[in-house]
Chain A
Amino acid sequence: MDYRNAFAISASGMDVEKTRLDVTAVNLANIHSTRGPDGTVFRPLHVTSVEASGSFSNQFEQLAGAQLHGAQVASVEASDVAPHKVYDPGNPDADEKGFVTLPGVNQVTEMVNMATALRAYEANVVALNAAKTMALKALELGGSQ
């Protein structure tokens, strides 16, 4: 049992899902941010993941038979969701008509993304534990029956 590759695959999946959770947290944290550090309004971030193709060392392992590398984050991009305006004349960032621009973060979308990422993360943990159980069982071979 090549448990190292199995662990690496599940770990890469956990890494991707954790990034997804982080990005969801950033989006939710900025749900009421009226302006970012550069003065413009925050744009919701979106994670794209791809199947990992393998670095040079991975390609070396490929010669040794390992062909699967798990997943990796392709990019974290700001999505083009239109910001919405809220009437709040007391806000220092309000324009001359009293409207404040808030980022187009959709709370429902973010919650769904969070739940999906959480379940996927858990599934990766289950796969990792299964690999551990299998490797440990293999160690018992030849012991007392």
Chain B
Amino acid sequence: MLGSTEAVTVEMVRMALDATSLRHQAIANNIANINTKGYAPARVDFEQQMSAVRQALDAGQPVTHEMLSGIQPVLQRDQVVSDEDRTSSLDTESANLAQNTVQYEALLKALGKHFAILGSAISEGKR
């Protein structure tokens, strides 16, 4: 059990936590610049890079470290939003913020449970 799966799981959750953390900064930056004219909203691309991992899991294949190499959250910029569309961006960003926070906490929960399973194995199932 403590083979490559263990390291890959923790590695994937770690990368997802990094991506969520960076996404929070991007959303915070968008909110800070909500009244800035000519501002290009920041976005974080991460999930699209995980398509190889998803395909492997769908096909019942294990995820390997090679699939994860080179994947990292990338900061991107949208097109400059025209002033007419500006008013709608505050609620969109707030919704993104709430979703991102929940996702971060879900990832932490999953990682905690994963470590709890390991702890259970270490204590031979006794508590």
Q: Which residues of A contact B (CB under 8 A)?
A: 1-2, 5-6, 9-10, 12-13, 16-17, 20, 48-51, 66-71, 116-117, 119-120, 123-124, 126-128, 130-131, 133-134, 137-138, 140-143, 145
If A1-B21, A134-B101, A141-B112 touch, does A70 touch B35 (CB 8 Å cutoff)? no
- For the residues of A in contact with B, the DSSP-based class is helix
Q: How far is the CB of A9 from chain B (nearest CB, A)?
A: 4
For A50, what are the chain B residues with a Cβ–Cβ distance below 8 Å?
36
Considering the complex, give the chain B residue whose CB is closest to the CB of A139: B108
For A131, what are the chain B residues with a Cβ–Cβ distance below 8 Å?
24, 28
Please list 26 pairs of residues, one from A and one from B, whose beta carbons are closer than 8 Å in the complex, sorted by A's number: A1-B21, A1-B24, A2-B21, A5-B25, A9-B25, A10-B31, A13-B32, A13-B33, A13-B34, A16-B35, A51-B29, A68-B26, A68-B29, A68-B42, A68-B75, A71-B32, A116-B35, A120-B90, A123-B31, A128-B28, A130-B97, A134-B101, A137-B108, A141-B108, A142-B112, A143-B112
A1 and B31 form a contact (CB under 8 A) = no
> Which of B28, B97, B100, B116 has most chain A Cβ within 10 Å?
B28
Determine which of A16, A69, A134, A142 lies in contact with B105 in the assembled complex, contact meaning CB atoms within 8 Å: A134
Determine which of A69, A71, A130 lies in contact with B36 in the assembled complex, contact meaning CB atoms within 8 Å: A71
Considering the complex, give the chain A residue whose CB is closest to the CB of B36: A49
A16 and B32 form a contact (CB under 8 A) = yes
In the complex, chain B residues 31-82 whose Cβ is within 8 Å of any chain A Cβ? 31-37, 39, 42, 75
For B111, what are the chain A residues with a Cβ–Cβ distance below 8 Å?
141
For B34, what are the chain A residues with a Cβ–Cβ distance below 8 Å?
13, 120, 123
